[in-house]
A and B are shown apart, each in its own frame.
Chain A
Amino acid sequence: EPEVTQTPSHQVTQMGQEVILRCVPISNHLYFYWYRQILGQKVEFLVSFYNNEISEKSEIFDDQFSVERPDGSNFTLKIRSTKLEDSAMYFCASKEGANTEAFFGQGTRLTVV
Chain B
Amino acid sequence: GDSVTQMEGPVTLSEEAFLTINCTYTATGYPSLFWYVQYPGEGLQLLLKATKADDKGSNKGFEATYRKETTSFHLEKGSVQVSDSAVYFCALVIAGANSKLTFGKGITLSVRP
Contacts and interface: CB of A to CB of B under 8 A. Distances in A.
B101 A42 contact: no
Interface string B70-113: 00000000000000000001010001111111111110000000
| Range class of the A interface residue count | 20 to 34
Given A43-B89, A43-B106, A102 B43 contact: no
B106 A98 contact: no
B44 A33 contact: no
A54 B45 CA distance: 24
Contacts of B101: 33, 35, 43, 45, 93, 102
A101 interface: yes
Interface in A21-37: 31, 33, 35, 37
Interface string A66-85: 00000000000000000000
A99 B95 contact: yes
A50 B97 CA distance: 9
A44 B103 CA distance: 7
A27 B112 CA distance: 39
Contacts of B4: 42
Question: Which secondary structure dominates chain A's binding surface?
Answer: strand
Contact of B100 (A56, A106, A107): A56
A21 B44 CA distance: 17
Nearest to B106: A43
A107 B99 contact: no
Interface of A: 3-4, 6, 31, 33, 35, 37, 40-45, 48, 50, 55-56, 91, 93, 95, 98-99, 101-102, 104-107
Closest 7 CB pairs of A and B: A43-B103, A104-B44, A106-B43, A104-B43, A56-B98, A45-B100, A48-B98
